[in-house]
Amino acid sequence: MTNTFQPIDAAQVPRFAGPATFMRLPAVTSAEGLDIALVGIPWDGGTTNRAGARHGPREIRSQSSLMRRVHHVSGTEPFSLARVADVGDVSVNPINLLDGLKRIEEGIAAIVGAGAMPLIAGGDHLTTLPSLRAVARKRPVGMIHFDAHSDTNDKYFGDNPYTHGTPFRRAIEEGLLDGKRVVQIGIRGSIYDPGEHDWARAQGIRIIYMEECVRRGVEDVMAEAKAIAGSGPTYVTFDIDCIDPSMAPGTGTPELGGFTTREAQAMLRLLDGVNIVGADVVEVAPPFDLGNLTSLAGATMMFELLCVMARLVSERRGNAS
């Protein structure tokens, strides 16, 4: 397949030059005609501690200029297998949480409605809730969730239901997620209450703590994760704080003892065979970053996800013909 959506040739325009788009792809105004839409959600209205993830998409775009055309392990050429472009940022409202959630849902729903898969750069993790509202309108989805935190808390500061610590409780309550097809990988750090994860477990969510990941290794963990997600539609959400803060310091809620970037890449490469309907990389907060390390990690994880999703697009096309 040939398509017109190609990165700017680095032999013609060096990678540090020109306006930044995701992966140096064309900037387009709609997802019509795309297989995969790269999109930003510059919003951190759900952040409870260190704000700044609203600046994530712009810095991830900048660092994504370092991505090249071919995956060095799988040989995947994502821009040959799929029509991919940068559709810009969804509309957000930085000072009104409920309106922000509504705008994000509409922005992602427009991509889904155009027949493209969203690959999203957040934003804080609350942005995943409206993204799920957009991709799970017709049926609940499963989810493979990389994070230091379960993000299944209930309320905050009294009766507030929406923070980046609550999206997956709300998503289960709203029927967007099938709890028995949800797996959380890399969970760690101190918690507020000994029973903090009981609700999630009662919904059927499988929590694989960091210590278990270390004991078993990432291949074994991913085999289990894929079995849990099964063959049904599945969302992949990657909170950058699953990576150790020594390698990804620019994030809202850092937790020691995390994955290396190499382990994170290895896990994403093992997503082959998962029926992905959308994915995001969230919680990159450039104001707390050092030397753009975290934005580079975010861009690199997006490239890993893009390669898996492009192969999926190619397989689905092959099955359809």
CB of residue 128 to Mn ion, shortest distance in Å: 8
Residue closer to Mn ion by CB (options 77, 174) is: 174
Member of 44, 239, 280, 289 binding Mn ion (CB under 5 A): 239
Residue 188 as a binder of Mn ion (CB under 5 A): the answer is: no
Region from 10-18, 46-54, 147-155, 188-196 binding Mn ion, contact rule CB under 5 A = 147-155
Residue 244 as a binder of Mn ion (CB under 5 A): the answer is: no
Member of 147, 178, 244, 304 binding Mn ion (CB under 5 A): 147
Residue closer to Mn ion by CB (options 134, 210) is: 210
Listed residue (189, 153, 186, 156) closest to 171, CA to CA? 153
Member of 148, 182, 228, 310 binding Mn ion (CB under 5 A): 148
Considering only residues 73-132, where is the footprint of Mn ion by CB under 5 A?
A: 125
Member of 24, 55, 149, 226 binding Mn ion (CB under 5 A): 149
CB of residue 259 to Mn ion, shortest distance in Å: 12
- Contact positions toward Mn ion, by CB under 5 A? 125, 147-149, 151, 239, 241
